[in-house]
A and B are shown apart, each in its own frame.
Chain A
């Protein structure tokens, strides 16, 4: 535990101490300029990494936010004579507002469409800055003096220290954020937006908030940029810069503060690197040697495919050869950027830091996190004793049509509290549609849903989940990149008051709740029998364990009603027995359960009442034994159970 903390925090501390101490020893203004730029780009790239890394969106607008922050601060200073701090806050706030404005419509889009939306935003921004001469002085540029801070004129060194301190603060705030419910929400929504909403974590609002935050950091970097260069020109903030920034993030390593820092170093050094041919060839050659070693190691251990290993070797080789052949590397810079980007994307998809962190974890044997003692179950899933047989969830004449297909056609049913209510029927009878309508994934065509006497919101997974209906997914929707514990912790969001408040989280006040969330999540994993697998990534769990994790995650919502959508599908006999025990335990805690299942053993063994659907309509309802005897059910669903024991319907 201490070793881990010491190594990780120690490395960060050492880096900042060295960076802050550097100007004391070296009195070279050119070098100081580079360091200042490094701090500014560091803030900018940490911001860009929020959208590119954590939200998984291609963001081509970060250069525009740098420009907007720079101009906002510059104009506030030049026209209205605002102070240093006011200008920085103004630049940041303006970029946050513009970021939110861009994100609100365009984050409804995905992938390439979103990239195009941000690209057009950059275009509009640059043109606007260029043409609004009355405000920005247009192409002639805007001269900005460096304002005093608390009446003190900042020397270049002092300005550098200020920038570096701001980068350190950004780093710490970001680390606080990423280690909180927010960071997990970002991870989760990338893996499965549907499940994220279903766990009561609003995908869309987290995306917008995250994007606006990243844009705000771009704006802060912009304000510092303006005071650093003291001269602003619209043409600085075009696509060229955006591409270099993306290169920085991807090369450094996405989803990593260190990665953003490595990328910033690269972006700050790149222009100087290219103007010095010897240096360029030297560094390319170092890259070539490095990629040859990595390729050989990967091929020997069979961890990389030949193509993946060779691509960076070829690309860096071309860089070395090109550096030797081309007389002026400056003229070829775009081609060089493109080649570097190519070799990184192909050869090091996780970037330099992704590669290095794996390597360092092995080298120093950084121990995995230590798990706390699980919380008492009573505090995580309080037992509820209710008068039984009161209707808790009601469907009234529910209909859902797809074009001409009447998937659910006038279904009315009552689910009584504390019961396990089975829902069975042939494939295509509308069971899945009922689940999707009740859980809010689909909007009903008509009809009403009532939970505890109040109308249940329809057509929103998020609202339904927050109202107290949780669900699992037939075709597993786990957050595959996160471990089992984190999967459950995502669903615990909302149970802790401080963690909901973004500024408090940034200040690092959410830690105590975070520790409690871990203990709570562990209690739930223990409840379903997955305590040992807590730190295993969900994608590496066995299929059976994944099904159990789905249940633990949904139970973490402390739901009134839990909908289990074919929880036993594809499970072996032994796992089914264990799962039935778990479902009974959940019911015994007072959670009402709706169970969709094809294994008749499970249905008979667990359910108090069974409803049978066919063609979107209810054809039978009653105790499992009654339903099994019903001729309509035998014909539509069970088939020849009694007559031909060679083809049993059960778990056998």
Chain B
């Protein structure tokens, strides 16, 4: 579904990624773990077109997308739920969600009606959002904002979802809820690439895992293999 090959990218003159290679098969959840500054978020940003890779390729369903703009890549079916959530604070919860479906549906007439089924789906997944549909997104708690960010990504009916640190700054009870949602999406057949500091939890839901170190993939394998790797165990799984 998503293949990243020898990707190089960075900011200005400093290169963060120096040849990252990874594959996400359709219907699987892949976890990307590693230390701060290893390049996990940069990988996500380079895949979704928020920064332009300087070398290497990203293919989505066999189609090279590394030269396309973030908006084009999103329309091809890749949704990115960014680190730190980035919901549209001054808009209501429902407007945030509708914006997620913006490029997918014809505009002007009957937009809301057409989006209704998707809204229902998201509200079923996150009943809290339905309760707060008229509330401004900026006034939601951190956990609710994270759910909104995932919900907004789902509204685009993506083929692949990138989830960047969905647990950041959330209470343990909410982190568990977020991970239950990820498990549920997985059971519905969603393909996901997950960046997470809670490496243990990420590997618990993932089918395959990559460990990044200084801009490259250092170790890869199934969760069971990674858990047995002593280096990984000591450095990331505590």
Contact = CB atoms under 8 A, between A and B. Distances in A.
B174 A641 contact: no
A475 B86 CA distance: 12
18 contacts: A427-B142, A427-B171, A428-B144, A542-B37, A543-B36, A544-B36, A570-B165, A573-B236, A574-B235, A575-B35, A600-B172, A637-B171, A639-B172, A646-B201, A647-B176, A648-B201, A649-B172, A652-B198
B73 interface: no
A647 B37 contact: no
Interface string B104-144: 00000000000000000000000000000000000111111
A575 B238 contact: no
B90 interface: no
Interface centre among B83, B142, B172 (most CB of A within 10 A): B172
Contacts of B35: 544, 572, 574-575
Interface in A510-563: 540, 542-545
Contacts of B197: 570-573, 651
Nearest to B36: A544
B228 interface: no
Interface in A563-582: 566, 569-575
B22 interface: no
Contacts of B143: 426-428
Contacts of B177: 639
Interface in B176-232: 176-177, 179, 197-201, 204
Contacts of B12: 303
A459 B172 CA distance: 31
B89 interface: no
A571 B172 CA distance: 15
Interface in A592-629: 598, 600
Interface string B138-174: 0111111000000000000000000001001111111
Contacts, number: 104
Given A640-B176, A641-B172, A647-B204, A573 B235 contact: yes
Interface residues on B, range: 35 or more
Q: Binding site of A, secondary structure by majority: helix, strand, loop or mixed?
A: loop
Contacts of A647: 175-176, 179, 201, 204
A478 to B, nearest CB: 15
A598 B237 contact: no
B232 to A, nearest CB: 11
Contact of B37 (A474, A543, A636, A649): A543
Interface of A: 302-303, 402, 405, 424-429, 474-475, 540, 542-545, 566, 569-575, 598, 600, 636-641, 646-652
Nearest to B12: A303
A652 B237 contact: yes
B84 interface: yes
B54 interface: yes
B238 A573 contact: yes
A651 B238 contact: yes
Interface string B1-36: 000000000001110000000000000000000111
B173 A405 contact: no
Contacts of B204: 646-647
A436 to B, nearest CB: 14
A428 B138 CA distance: 12
A474 B238 contact: no
Contacts of B175: 598, 647, 649
Contact of A426 (B139, B168, B171): B171
A641 B168 CA distance: 18
A117 B141 CA distance: 38
B144 A570 contact: no
B198 A427 contact: no
A384 to B, nearest CB: 32
A641 B201 CA distance: 13
A616 to B, nearest CB: 12
Contact of B173 (A302, A303, A637): A637
